[in-house]
A and B are shown apart, each in its own frame.
Chain A
Amino acid sequence: MISTASSNFFSKRFFSLSKTAAKSGCSIVQPVHHTETYRKRLLSDRNDLLKLEDNDIKSHRYKPLDVRSDRLINHYYNSVQPDLMLMAYEHESEIVPGVQKVEVDNLANPYHINISRTKVYGKTAPYLDRHPINPMNIPELLDVNVICMANQIRDNKYGYITAKAILQQITNNKPQTLRVKHASPKSGLRYGNQIGGHVNLKGFDKSQFLLTLNEIVLPKNEEFKGLLEHQVDHNGALILSLSDEDTANFPEVFANRDLWSDVYGLVVNIRTTSQDPAYAKMLVSGLGFPFHTTKPVKEFKRV
């Protein structure tokens, strides 16, 4: 630094250099800038009501789920849960880990520009970690997701309204719009186009939907023999796809069939807490859904 000052001192134009000359030295420490930004409005207490959970009675999203006694859940706690405990019990069982996620350090490869460290390559886990069945870990129903998608959205772009109306009638819940996530030139749909609706069912509505599905809708289908085994997911979810004829058999649609010009099929996703497809099958069949297999059933390993 002194050298630069001295070089200026002998400059031709003779500017005043008294200031720099008087300086004893200069700080090597870099100037500090506040890089961490925070939004001050988020710290105020006026938004505290929005931070509450959905099942809190103070929350604006709160909806009472237990408005009447639930036949399906009563049956679950009365007989299915203790039976499941006995059926899935193993002596001295241990935790069976699922396939681990493989994380590759992409930054090592100079050709991969702009690829983040967190991206996962290779197989993702098909199985969850399977914990032993004990009183704290018995498979249970989580919730039911129902999706209704309009066919031939190219011909009738307002079909999504019908799809949402069907869902609202059947499930007694306000559906959210389903939008296109991956556009393809073949379908002629763009990203963000509205194609239907989806609902997440909890509480009484969930069991009411499952009961009508099992006791009224599926028996009306003459070809129906039972759910297939492969419909059960590795994540403990059961995915059903109903045809538009099945949807028409729901009593809400069936009672006034002429009102509905178009009826679309449903995709029902029954989610459970089980970590193994075998346990999920036990639970769903315990709730009354029949299973059908062409091959002999591969029995769950017992003692």
Chain B
Amino acid sequence: MFKSTSALKQAASIASKNLDIGVIVKRLPIVTKSLSAYEQNYYEYKKEIYDRMSLNFPKEYYFPTGSMKTIEFENVQPKAIAADQIAKYEGKIIFPTSKPELNYYGRDMNEKHDVILVEEVKEELARQNSKIDEGKKNSGDEYVKFNERVTESDLKQDYQKLDRSLENDLYLITKNNKSEKKVWEFPKFKASELLKDKTVSLDELALKELYQIGGENMQIWTVSKTPAKLLNNTLYFKNVILSGEFESLDKTIEYKWLNKKELKETLEKSYYEDMEYLLN
């Protein structure tokens, strides 16, 4: 991979006359990825091991024997399974799931030690007595209502909006209706005239061109001055959009924000295969 750099240099020097510069602009995922069935099972399995290995609640440390608080605390706890009773009636008892494996403290080892606090029980009782409506419950500050993972523009399939496909990376692609080939591509520009100004680097030039077609209402961070890809005399630079939106000023230029799965369907097959390893 690294030996080919000299070959790349040669290729670049030959093709500098009709060189193009392109930008790969991506939006980072906003929410965590939803787990596959395998991943979900894996984490559940690990969590069970974690719970199984956890220590018992050190009751003696917090509740000294004989105090009123201790008696209250013990009354609230669920009744532990008596090991001696299991031993006495062995063979006669039918367990609904499986025979419990008890540890020294009489805790079922397949579950974590759930401790019920007296205050929690009292609060619940008070809540039941006051009979608060469910509508009031949800409106309070204590209850957090999560946003949905599927947004409106997801349902409408509005490919020009950025609040879509929150789990995945979104990439900007454009189609120029003026050009001969009307194909979807990552935005690219002709650099031959721009290269005369030698004070500005290539990645900055590429961004300048992007602002001209998409407006300056985009806060974009360039990952590196090193190009990520050389394909068909075009150097592609990697960028991340942090905020703002792309608004096409020229109506002949169409644009879309797509994730990797959708890119595979819209881009040309050979073009996609060359760019595939750069995408997430």
Which A positions have Cβ atoms within 8 angstroms of B?
62-64, 66-69, 71, 74-75, 78-79, 82-83, 86-87, 89, 91-92, 134-135, 302-303
Contact of B280 among A66, A68, A69, A79 (CB under 8 A): A79
Stretch in contact with the other chain, from B80-88, B176-184, B208-216, B218-226: B218-226
For the complex of A and B, the 8 pairs showing the least CB-CB separation, nearest first, are A64-B46, A86-B224, A87-B224, A67-B47, A67-B46, A64-B50, A83-B223, A91-B5
Contacts A64-B49, A134-B2 known; 8 new A-B pairs at CB < 8 A: A67-B46, A68-B43, A69-B32, A71-B32, A74-B33, A78-B169, A82-B280, A86-B223
Contact with A along B7-41 (1 / 0, CB 8 A): 00100000000000000000011001101000100
Query: In chain B, what residue has the closest Cβ to A303?
Result: B226
Complex Cα gap A74–B1 (Å): 26
Known: A64-B49, A68-B43, A86-B238. A92 touches B2 (CB 8 A): yes
Q: Does B194 contact A (CB under 8 A)?
A: no
Interface of A is mostly: loop
Complex Cα gap A135–B50 (Å): 33
Q: Does B53 contact A (CB under 8 A)?
A: yes
Query: In chain B, what residue has the closest Cβ to A77?
Result: B280
Question: How large, as a class, is the contact surface on chain B?
Answer: 20 to 34
Contact of B226 among A71, A74, A86 (CB under 8 A): A86
- Enumerate chain B residues within 8 angstroms of A87, measured Cβ to Cβ: 223-224, 226
- Enumerate chain B residues within 8 angstroms of A302, measured Cβ to Cβ: 224-226
Between-chain CB contacts (< 8 Å), 29 pairs: A62-B53, A63-B50, A63-B53, A67-B46, A67-B47, A67-B50, A68-B43, A69-B33, A69-B35, A74-B32, A74-B33, A78-B29, A78-B169, A78-B280, A79-B169, A82-B280, A83-B223, A86-B223, A86-B238, A87-B223, A87-B224, A87-B226, A89-B224, A89-B226, A92-B2, A92-B6, A135-B1, A302-B224, A302-B225
Known: A74-B32, A79-B28, A134-B2. A67 touches B226 (CB 8 A): no
Complex Cα gap A263–B211 (Å): 51
Query: In chain A, what residue has the closest Cβ to B237?
Result: A86
A68 engages B5 (CB within 8 Å): no
Query: In chain B, what residue has the closest Cβ to A57?
Result: B49
Complex Cα gap A89–B2 (Å): 10
Smallest Cβ distance from A36 to chain B, in angstroms?
A: 41
Query: In chain B, what residue has the closest Cβ to A68?
Result: B43
Q: Does B117 contact A (CB under 8 A)?
A: no
B43 engages A69 (CB within 8 Å): yes
Complex Cα gap A69–B47 (Å): 11
Known: A64-B49, A74-B33. A83 touches B39 (CB 8 A): no
- Enumerate chain A residues within 8 angstroms of B39, measured Cβ to Cβ: 69
Known: A78-B29, A91-B5. A83 touches B238 (CB 8 A): yes
Complex Cα gap A124–B278 (Å): 41
Contact with A along B134-158 (1 / 0, CB 8 A): 0000000000000000000000000
Q: Does B228 contact A (CB under 8 A)?
A: yes
- Enumerate chain A residues within 8 angstroms of B33, measured Cβ to Cβ: 69, 74
Query: In chain B, what residue has the closest Cβ to A302?
Result: B225
